[in-house]
Copies of this chain bind each other. A is one copy, B any other.
């Protein structure tokens, strides 16, 4: 095969707690999030370099995946998602590169091995802790044990609502994760307990809002948007009132249903991605 393309959904984390271990495969995060039908398409061919939406870029986790697979691969990726805003684009690039390069170079790795490679690459690069395993699963993943597939374990909220999102700028994942994460961890573990009592969509949104408040990460634009959604009826026909929360880690608000549009925001619309990361039809 001289070319393969993988699709990896975007992933918004609603809440999380950092779980560090000596080995990257055992490190990660607990928490829950939403994978999106808006994602990253990663095409691999023999060659070198990395392009994102046509521009040459350098992504440490992508370099690491190529090196782990021992391949000389050119990576050409496109995405409608904003960068550096809490959508897991770097994790998607790493995982998409792993899936597509394995196909092109006939590396003979299993899905779990490829997920593990991308997860470890992200953890070592400091650019993410839980996006890759969530993006591999799809849906609304709950990370109940941290780490790669041999160590971690996932569950999921059984729902598939419409999603809207809007971003107000960048937040550096590296800066937040490199700081004191004790408060984040306490807030994240509390939110996870709250969700697991009753793992529904509305509980996920409530737990996410509480986490953002407790962790002290809410920006003014985010607070204004969340409040605005709470005051409108954004029911999309999914039989659920709209509600909004903050994407971790990004200056970004996401909402179920059509709440952001109803509140007058120029929001992107998509759905929950049900399938998780996958090779595309050749």
Q: Using Cβ atoms and an 8 Å threshold, which residues of chain B touch A99?
A: 158
Q: How many copies does the complex hold?
A: 2
- A110 touching B282, Cβ below 8 Å: no
Q: How many residues of A contact B (CB 8 A)?
A: 39
Q: Using Cβ atoms and an 8 Å threshold, which residues of chain B touch A109?
A: 158, 199
Q: Which residue of chain B has its CB nearest to the CB of A277?
A: B274
- Chain A contact surface mostly: loop
- A278 touching B282, Cβ below 8 Å: no
Point out the residue from B110, B158, B275 that lies within 8 Å of A275, measured CB to CB: B275
CB distance from A152 to the nearest CB of B (A): 11
Interface residues of A (CB under 8 A from B): 1, 99, 102-103, 106, 108-114, 138-139, 142, 149, 153, 155-160, 196, 198-200, 237-239, 271, 274-276, 278-282
- A110 touching B237, Cβ below 8 Å: no
CB distance from A198 to the nearest CB of B (A): 5
Point out the residue from B111, B160, B276 that lies within 8 Å of A281, measured CB to CB: B160
Considering the chains assembled together, what is the distance between the CA atoms of A149 and B111 in angstroms? Answer: 17
Considering the chains assembled together, what is the distance between the CA atoms of A87 and B134 in angstroms? Answer: 28
CB distance from A236 to the nearest CB of B (A): 9
- B199 touching A158, Cβ below 8 Å: no
- A271 touching B281, Cβ below 8 Å: yes
Q: Which residue of chain B has its CB nearest to the CB of A195?
A: B110
